[in-house]
Structure 1
Amino acid sequence: MSELLPAQPVAFTEFPALTSAEWQARLARELKGQDPAALRWPLPDGLVLEPFYHREALDALGGPPAPLPFPARPWLNVPALPVPAGSDGHFEVERALTALAHGAEGVHFELAHAATFDADYLAGRLPLATTFIGYTVASGPDELLARLVAAAPGTALRGFLRFAPPLGPEGGEQVGYGAALRRCVALAQAWPDFRALAVNAAYFGNAGATDAQQLAYGLSTAAALLAELPDAATPLAAVAGALHWHVAVGPSYFPELAKLRALRRLWPTLLHAYGLPPAAALRVHAATATWTQTTLDPHTNLLRATTEAMSAVLGGADSLSVGTFDSLFAAPNEFSGRLARNLSLILKEETHLDAVQDPAAGSYFLETLTDELARAAWALFQHTEAAGGLPAARPQVLENVHTAATATFRRIAAGKQVVVGTNRFENRAERFPFNPKKLLRSAAFDTTRAAYPTEVLRLATALHFERRERKTRQAALVLLGVGVNRHIEESFWRLLPALERPELAASHPEGTLSFLFSSPEEATLMYATPEQFQRFARFLYRIPVERQLFMPPVLLSSDLATLQEAVRVFGFQEMRVQGYTTEEVLSRLQGR
């Protein structure tokens, strides 16, 4: 067989080179007088993306940036397996064996209570020396790691440990975690393929943070760990070498891809500030975001996860957890687990994305977006550090994330941000694959999601219409939440004559909670203060006042007379809109 000829550079010399000005003129002609600026894409971070980029964009960056280094190995397909409180983890270990036998390249155990997890059983069923395993724990990270060492003595573990205390990411709270984290670093120091400290940027991303916020506050978390953990027995270089990142990836394809690329560019800058050499082996674990998952039309979660996974691997993630489409309402099961696992397999085995080095490199648009996002994140990081860094600036950080999340709720409520199957292109004939009443009562139902205000209103009204058809004498009060106040107002606002809008606004006082009172005859939208609701729920469930810790469920039900009297006594107020019944308001909100 003859030798292949060397590839020749591609050139189109027959086509004259065009300047940006010439392209802009052509765009103006094609738009027939429409201003090209109308096609700009504003991002929640305040960045504005242009509809057109040309080679001058790279000149503005000082020339084409160097491509990100080719990964030492393709990304690992690492499904997450939640281990509920009180479980010894045997069931989840067997599920891990099944996943590893069918394409998974690692597993991530999310332990609700690490103390009960059977490390000996795990070591007996899985070869810990060759299996990539992640562990997320809410307490006792060093104790779990010590038990793993005892269960597999002399074994160099592979994977990662993420300590996720209830109040925030490690490094974000001023509490006595330092000794435990230093012990984790010491235990794992001889394991080159294990990272014992996590920069939990996903904590912010799944609470509604923007991309720049997730990066900036992740950098602040890392800075807190690098500043606080080193001591005489734990050198700074050991702390830096033990760090890895957890990032939540949303469905906005290009910004999410650029976010991971920006992280790779920012990390050496932070290490340089501590006098450390660039870490070529930065480990990034990406997971599809819980923030963007939906309960309504849940199969759309499969489509969201696809774009999220593609952004993650094209952005340079080292390992990836794809969430199951039904995790919000269904127990872990092999069907949805297999679909999530196979998504990553298709991207690798059929799409061959693992064979591409930094596919965004050289793109005028993506290189510019990466640079702008990195600059915005670094500026916000510097602002946070100037305010004292974490944990001192934690209240302001959480307030900023809350503001970003509230803005998302408002965009969804006003229809400016589309959530397919939830606020646009809804399946009005949808038959829920779950019991709405049971789901709303469940303490495990994730209320920290972008679609939650819209979902809970739809689920509550569905329950009302079902109750009306059955003519049951039970009544229910459904907590819709603070965000739903705004959702109701903004969704119904545009339907009202201008003179009636102040009345609607007055019936949604700031700082109150929204409720749906549902009886067999009617549904009434109401509001009350959090204190009124707390007293109401304690009365209904006979919870004594001296028991301070009590989290009322979202759905409260009782016989009609008792609930009506309790609503009257505790001062709940009806949301009134002149000329419209509550039924009409609900029907319009539901698109009926």
Structure 2
Amino acid sequence: MTKNKLFSNFDPVSSKAFKQKIQFDLKGASYNDTLVWNTNEGIDIKPFYHRDETTHFPEVPGLPATWHIGEDIFIHDTSLAVQTANNYIASGAEALYFSADAPFDARLFFNTLDKTYAPIYFKLHFLDENFYQEIIKEAGDRTVYLNIDLIHHLAEEGNWYHNLAEDHRMLDNILQKETHTISIDIDLYQNAGATMVQQLAYGLAHANEYLLHLNEMEVSIPSITFQVAIGSNYFFEIAKLRALRQLITVLKDEYAFAKAATTHIIARPTRRNKTIYDYNTNMLRTTTEAMSAVLGGADTVINMPYDYIYHKTNDFGQRISRNQLIILKKESYFDAVSNPSDGTYYIEAITKQLAEKALALFKDIEQQGGFLKQLKEGTIQRKIKESAQKEQTQFDTQEKILLGTNKHPNPSDRMKDSLELYPFVKIKPRKTLIEPIIKQRLSEKMEQERLKTEA
């Protein structure tokens, strides 16, 4: 059936006509005061978006044709970690994200890991040049991403791995080998309470620090990997990922060696809105967050088990979180279209505004000396704290709702005897070069008070 036959009986309605009808129905109430609301990002949200009010929206470059279902695996015992990985692959995992606190047997690891052409990511909590070279050697033709992010380590821990000069020397040597991928971990900013505009601007400035440094080296950069945390503001999170691709493309175009680099995004649900009470609601939150990640154009989505906050890794929690993604991909066909958000006036408008505001903040950071300088001065930490406190106040006053925690809590819930992990911010006194950026959940203080009063 043709378009004319479908819509020939319906006359187009202009945005002006819509507004006139809305204003009539408001019976004298103010259109802006009643229906337009402002977000923490400083963006006004209108009650409707119309094509005759839209301008040209820039294309979102580099969107993936499909996305991978990822799994987190910690390497303590190499053989056990590989066995777990092989089981996850057999159960539907399509990408593997490994973390470790110490070197492991790389040869045993790759020789016993099932042959798969899915991405393999490494996030090692140490910097050892020789060990990274060993990973590159043993990986062979597998697709491996070494998520080395010196600045993220500094921001989160307050110190370099060794010192500035030694860390950069090691990174330079690693990048001059077979794997020339830089990694930007911006989930720290989201989990610490930064707004989306701040997340995008800090991620862009964070990336620029590496590009400025690498501009002096004669190496090519085939890809730039971003690790991003996704919150529960469904449409805004879709727009955030789209804006990220637009912004990093603008930045790459300023560097000849990076122009051809692809943008690879690993997305996972945020910890910030997860709760220990009424914990099953975490499954609802992670489902919509995973949907935002997919529709926003993430390459790999790694879900968070509903009990991740307070339980040790367990098969049931991992299976449920993996099945959430499998249902989205295999049963809900979230991989059927590569750019489902294209042409959606609301999402396009938010994307445009987020990108413009983030670019303005990025330019301001660069004019003030760059991201590292502001991090060392404490400016970045102060700005994130201000945003986090605003959001915390919204939670405390029930302007921001977490169902089952600050609204409609279940008074019979008892969690004191179920905590296998400490779910709150851990204080680790140590001498640091800068003030660390601290991840913190919104419900921590309220949960601590409830735990004290449990019978």
Q: TM-score, normalised by structure 1?
A: 0.69
**2-structure distance, mates of 1:22, 1:437:** 59
Q: 1:417 aligns with which of 400, 408, 428?
A: 400
Task: Return the alpha-carbon distance in structure 2 between the equivalents of residues 432 and 401 of structure 1.
Answer: 30
- 5 Å-filtered alignment, 1:247-266, equals 247-266=228-247
Distance 1:172 1:255 in 2: 33
1:213 partner amino acid: Q
Tell whether 2:294 aligns with 1:313.
Answer: yes
Residue of structure 1 equivalent to 2:24: 29
Give the AA of the match of 2:446: T
> Which of 29, 34, 40 is the aligned partner of 1:44?
40
Per the TM alignment, residue 422 of structure 1 is displaced from its structure 2 partner at its CA by: 1.0
Distance 1:456 1:167, change over 3 A: farther
State the match for 2:379 in structure 1. 396
> Which residue, 200, 203, 217 being the options, matches 2:188?
203
- Residues in 2 aligned to 1:224 and 1:71: alpha-carbon distance in whole angstroms: 26
1:27-426 matched pairs, under 5 angstroms: 27-37=22-32, 38-58=34-54, 61=55, 63-66=56-59, 71-72=64-65, 74-83=66-75, 87-111=76-100, 113-115=101-103, 117-127=104-114, 130-140=117-127, 142-152=129-139, 155-164=140-149, 166-168=153-155, 175-176=164-165, 177-189=167-179, 196-232=181-217, 234-235=218-219, 238=220, 240-275=221-256, 278-279=259-260, 281-394=262-375, 395-426=378-409
Map 1:526-541 onto structure 2 (within 5 A): none
Check 1:367–1:141 CA distance in 2 against 1; reply closer, same or farther (3 A cut).
farther
Quick one: distance in 1 between partners of 2:115 and 2:129? 17
2:171 counterpart SS class: helix
CA distance in 2, matches of 1:393, 1:442: 24
Percent identity over the alignment is: 29
Deviations 1:26-47 (A, max 9, x none): 1123334433322223211111
Give deviations 1:552-580, integer Å, cap 9, x for gaps: xxxxxxxxxxxxxxxxxxxxxxxxxxxxx
**What is the CA distance between 1:279 and its match in structure 2?**
4.1
Secondary structure class of the residue paired with 1:134: strand
Structure 2: runs of 5+ lacking an equivalent = 429-437
- Tell me which amino acid in the other structure corresponds to 2:44: V
Q: Say whether the 8 Å CA contact 1:36–1:51 is kept in structure 2.
A: no
Give 1:151 deviation, angstroms.
3.7
RMSD over aligned Cα atoms: 2.8
Q: Which amino acid aligns with 1:399?
A: R
Q: Distance in 1 between matches of 2:178 and 2:271?
A: 30
- The answer to whether the 8 A contact 1:245-1:283 is kept is yes
Distance 1:218 1:397 in 2: 12
- Find the counterpart in structure 2 of residue 12 from structure 1: 7
Q: Is contact 2:242-2:351 (8 Å) kept? A: yes
Greater relative contact order: 1 or 2 (C-alpha under 8 angstroms, separation 6 or more)?
2
C-alpha distance in structure 1 between counterparts of 2:144 and 2:271, whole Å: 22
1:496 corresponding residue in structure 2: none
TM-score with structure 2 setting the length: 0.88
* Superimposed CA distance per residue, residues 411-439 of structure 1 (whole angstroms, 9 cap, x where no aligned partner): 11111111111101211111327446974
Distance 1:381 1:65, change over 3 A: closer
Q: Is residue 244–residue 284 contact of structure 1 (8 Å, CA) maintained in 2?
A: yes
Question: Which amino acid is the alignment partner of residue 183 of structure 1?
Answer: N
Aligned residue type for 2:119: F
In the TM superposition, what is the alpha-carbon distance from 1:401 to its structure 2 partner?
Answer: 1.0
5+ residue gaps, structure 1, are 1-5, 190-194, 467-592
Provide the residue aligned with 1:477 in structure 2: none
- Counterpart position of 1:454: 446
Q: Deviations over 1:329-349 (max 9, x none)?
A: 111011010111111111111
Partner of 1:561: none
CA distance in 2, matches of 1:444, 1:339: 31
Q: Secondary structure at the match of 2:193?
A: coil
Q: Secondary structure at the match of 1:163?
A: coil
Q: C-alpha displacement at 1:139, in angstroms?
A: 1.6
Count of paired positions:
438
Contact persistence 1:257–1:312 (CA under 8 A):
yes
Which stretch shows the higher mean deviation, 426-435 or 353-362?
A: 426-435
Any idea what the Cα deviations from partners look like across 1:236-272, whole Å, max 9, x if unmatched? xx2x424211111111100000000111111111112
Question: Aligned partners of 1:437 and 1:348: how far apart in 2?
Answer: 32
Residue pair 1:138, 1:164 contacting (<8 A) in 2 also: no
Instruction: Pick the structure with greater CA Rg.
Output: 1
User: C-alpha separation between the residues in 2 aligned to 1:438 and 1:276?
Assistant: 45
SS across alignment from 2:382: helix
* Counterpart contact for 2:129–2:170, Cα < 8 Å: yes
